[in-house]
């Protein structure tokens, strides 16, 4: 009995240490965003919001956020249709080379993001296309479409095709049956996939870094600022960044839960 209790206490202790290891660094970032000190370090010199106001006064940071939103929206607009249509293709049709295509469309999930970025940088350069926001969008789409595909395919496999057949028996064309019956069924999965796609785009550094040229997105801007100097403004923008991505993460979790019922 006592060994049981001991085992339990050890286990809880382990979880506590693990969670502290996860959260203490984030807490340091968060607390120092509100510290009235010119450097992001302790001791505590009083509460201030000036580092958050400094964000609004930093044109590059604002531009980075705006670019991130634009890039994210463009990635969603590209990756969502590509992923969903490819999910239809792979779930519903048999054709020669299907396994090869399957492997290829999932390969970005296990390819280092840097490789995707470098290879597309070389390709676009050989076409005379300058690196910038557009190339970053294409680079991100290359792997984000794979995530959309997985989410859409999982839902599509659960669809009862007799519903579509019923619609056709009632006189709908096959396309109309898909539009009226199948797509509404897919909606929660597509919505979840869109939020995931936006989140992954908003978060991306490795692929974007090589394809962004002289432009900036939020992660790129934070990266270059940290390389230059440590400033509490980075903490403030980090807090904003954390709030945004965690909110989006929660939203995907809720949408996915709905999609899996």
Q: Footprint of another protein on residues 10-69 (CB under 8 A)?
A: 11, 14-15, 18-19, 21-23, 25-26, 28-29, 32, 39-43
170 vs 175, beta carbon nearer another protein: 175
Task: Rule CB under 8 A: choose which of 118, 129, 134, 172 binds another protein.
Answer: 118
How far is residue 237's CA from residue 170's CA, in Å, rounded to a whole number? 56
Q: Which residues contact 64 (CB under 8 A, 6 or more apart)?
A: 216, 217, 218, 220, 221
Looking only at residues 175 through 234 of this chain, which bind another protein when binding is defined by CB under 8 A?
199, 203, 205-206, 209-210, 219, 222-223, 226-227, 230, 234
Contact 259, 151 (CB under 8 A): yes
Q: How many CB atoms are located within 10 Å of the residue 27 CB? A: 11
139 binds another protein (CB under 8 A): yes
In 90-172 the beta strands, taken as DSSP E runs, fall at: none
How far is residue 220's CA from residue 68's CA, in Å, rounded to a whole number? 10
Task: Rule CB under 8 A: choose which of 48, 138, 159, 213 binds another protein.
Answer: 138
27 vs 66, beta carbon nearer another protein: 27
Q: How far is CA 45 from the centre of its chain?
A: 36
Cβ 49 to another protein, closest distance in Å? 19
In the numeric block, the tokens 């350069």 are attached to 125
Cβ 78 to another protein, closest distance in Å? 9
129 binds another protein (CB under 8 A): no
């Amino acid at each position: 009995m006592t060994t049981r209790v001991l085992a339990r206490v050890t286990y809880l202790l382990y979880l506590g240490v693990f969670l502290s290891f996860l959260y203490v660094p984030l807490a340091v970032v968060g607390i120092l965003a509100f510290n009235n000190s010119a450097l992001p370090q302790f001791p505590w010199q009083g509460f201030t919001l000036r580092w958050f106001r400094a964000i609004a006064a930093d044109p590059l940071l604002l531009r980075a956020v705006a670019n991130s939103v634009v890039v994210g929206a463009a990635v969603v607009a590209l990756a969502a249709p590509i992923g969903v249509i490819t999910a239809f293709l792979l779930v519903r049709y048999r054709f020669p080379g299907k396994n090869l295509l399957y492997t290829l469309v999932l390969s970005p999930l296990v390819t280092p993001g840097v490789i995707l970025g470098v290879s597309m940088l070389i390709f676009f350069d050989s076409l005379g296309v300058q690196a910038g926001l557009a190339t970053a969008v294409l680079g991100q789409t290359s792997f984000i479409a794979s995530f959309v595909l997985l989410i859409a395919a999982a839902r599509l496999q659960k669809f009862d095709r007799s519903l579509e057949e019923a619609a056709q028996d009632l006189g709908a064309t096959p396309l109309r049956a898909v539009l009226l019956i199948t797509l509404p069924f897919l909606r929660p999965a597509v919505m979840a996939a869109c939020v995931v796609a936006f989140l992954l785009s908003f978060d991306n550094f490795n692929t974007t870094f090589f394809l962004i040229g002289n432009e900036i997105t939020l992660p790129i801007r934070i990266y270059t600022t940290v390389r230059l100097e440590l400033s509490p403004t980075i903490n403030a923008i980090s807090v904003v960044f954390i709030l945004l991505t965690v909110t989006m993460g929660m939203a995907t979790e809720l949408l996915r839960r709905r999609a899996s019922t």
